[in-house]
Amino acid sequence: ALDQDAKAVRIANYIAGPSNCIAASKYFSICCISECNEIIGNIEAIIQGPAAEPEILLHAVANISSRFVDAPRKLEASLVDKLETIADKHDGLVPLHGRLFAQWLFFAFPNECPYPHIVQDSVVLTSNYWLNRKSSEMFATPEISAPPANSTAPIWSDEEVLPLVDAPVKAAKRVADFTHYILLVAPIALVSRIAWDMAKSAWEAATMRRLEKQAFGGLAPAASGTTSAALSPVARAGAAPRGFSV
């Protein structure tokens, strides 16, 4: 927040910075209310999407007022050019939650929106990182010093960071690729399921026949014709041996 060369403090960065939070935990931080959040909320309510064309954003921002900005207003030509440059990097759309748009809002609302610094380690975004730091370690680097009046060139950085969303076009492409994959796999899965059901039914029928054969295969069939019953006593008495006559 402190610019050593200009001997000035960026108010928005100081108020919204983690060094100005009075308490924090792994789940929340107690910090000052950022006026830029209200501006972003108004933009999100108008756009109702993760990205928008630069023309729509220019019209929306030109009609948003704050404590320090009256609306409607005409945006500077440099702001219009920068927003179109951001859109060119994302196939004609400007991501609302990217670093470049946050940087653009800093120039559109310098007293409300903080400048989005490029950090090498996300730990610097926590309040604990700043608790035991010396004042000499809290200076802004020369490349992000305060800009001259009516100019965005000196501290403008083209480095983009999308912490929440990817470019909408890339996300749509992933959805299309996934849908194409499902359409290719679904018929194969259906045919495989039918073949599995048929094979399962055939195996169950063969198993049933084998069990029936094992259960009834040991029983001999009944003999036809004369039975093995014993002769009656009359039949035995009437039967004379050969060679004798009665």
- Name residue, tokens 């009944």: 222
Which residues, 6+ apart, have CB-to-CB distance to 42 below 8 Å? 60, 64
Instruction: Please give the Cα distance from 91 to 178 (Å, whole number).
Output: 21
pLDDT given at position 77:
94
Report which residue type is found at 102: A
CA angle centred on 27, ends 22 and 33, rounded to 5°: 45
pLDDT, residue 42, reads 94
For 139, the 3-state DSSP assignment is strand
The predicted structure's pLDDT at residue 186:
83
Quick one: DSSP state of residue 224?
P
0.75 exceeded by the pTM? no
CA distance 69 to 156: 22
Q: What is the DSSP letter of 136?
A: G
Q: What are phi and psi of 156, to 5 degrees?
A: -75, 130
Question: From first to last of its 246 residues, what are the pLDDT tens digits of the chain?
Answer: 555 555 667 778 778 777 777 776 777 778 888 889 999 999 999 999 999 999 999 999 999 999 888 989 999 999 999 999 999 999 899 999 888 999 999 999 988 998 887 765 555 555 666 666 665 555 555 444 444 444 444 478 888 888 655 444 555 666 777 788 788 888 888 888 898 889 888 888 888 888 888 877 655 444 444 444 444 444 444 444 454 444
pLDDT at 115: 87
b/e code 12-27 from CB counts within 10 Å (16+ = b): bbebbbbeebeeeeee
d(CA 98, CA 40): 12
Q: How many helices (H) and strands (E) does the chain have?
A: 7, 6
Distance CA 14, CA 23 (A): 16
Q: What is the pLDDT of residue 74?
A: 93
* Predicted pLDDT at 157: 84
Three-state DSSP class for residue 223: coil
Q: Which of 240, 12, 42 is nearest to 146 (CA)?
A: 12
Q: Is the peptide bond before 72 cis (omega within 30 degrees of 0)?
A: yes
> Are 120 and 129 within 8 A, CB to CB?
no
Query: Measured over all CA atoms, what is the biggest interatomic distance in the chain, rounded to whole angstroms?
Result: 157
107: number of Cβ within 10 Å: 20
Check residue 81 and give its pLDDT: 95
